[in-house]
Amino acid sequence: MSLVPYDDRDGWIWLDGQFVPWREAKVHVLTHALHYASAVFEGERMYGGEIFKLDEHTRRLFNSAEILDFQIPWTVEQINEASLAVCARNGLTDCYVRPIAWRGSETIGVSAQASKIHVAIAAWEWPSYFKPEEKAKGIRLTWARYSRPAPNTAPTASKAAGLYMICTISKHAAEREGYADAMMLDWRGYVAEATGANVFFVRDGVLHTPEPDCFLDGITRRSVIELARSKGFEVVQRHITPDELPTFSECFIVGTAAEVTPVSEIGEHRFTPGNISLSLMDDYARMVRRELAPA
């Protein structure tokens, strides 16, 4: 199957307050964000004409920008409206939505206080991140080479573009070895997250998930915790060591792209997608489509 480049598509992108034809939404090669990773973004999904947790995503975008020491020149409400408008303009009701804010090309160098802040929002059709048959039997993960950094060494509370560099490297290495993704540890050696999704484990009917003190506390993660608790499951947030993995029966990852995806393997450890993983996968899919009352 041929890949359609993201810069060569029909449609419209919201760029700095205006709708721009898709192929004309461009930045200069000396844009600060390209050289110094001064960009923050969100990944969102629209289901049936509604963007799931839109306001939470937009507010996190603004918070990420503040952490990177710049202000988005729009209000939360304006970005919410623009996000919905770009979906409508492209005739989409079920899609992926990508807002991004970045420093422009007025200055090039470490100091960039004079750079203009730009915002763009694009939306496109995007099916399940993993194939349905893969999700049902569980995906295979290996261990990532790199670790999530300590919060005093990087702006780990932000969804910053630069923090994903080690994720790309790790996911590429995993795919070359035949795995779907890689599991990352944090700088202390605790289990952290996959390259683009948070992780949960199951032991004796109780859900365990890493404490997000050095990586992003995902919006999907929080939604799944609420959903699980509403169904009567106990959820424990704590530090998890790799040597605990043999004591867990089930494992699944969660994220805007991954939604809820069971895991069958992390390196040398094996899991069996069971009732809890599969039921939460189905219930989450129903919840985001308003077929199940939100938690």
Active site residues: 159
DSSP 160: B
- How is the chain split among helix, strand and coil, in percent rounded to 5? 30, 30, 40
Residue 171, SS3 per DSSP: helix
Q: Is 54 left (phi over 0), alpha (psi -120 to 50) or beta?
A: alpha
* Dist CA 230 CA 238 (whole Å): 20
CA nearest neighbour of 218 among 50, 39, 56, 80: 56
- Residue 226 half-sphere exposure, CB side, CA atoms within 13 Å? 11
Helices (H) and strands (E) in the chain, counts: 7, 16
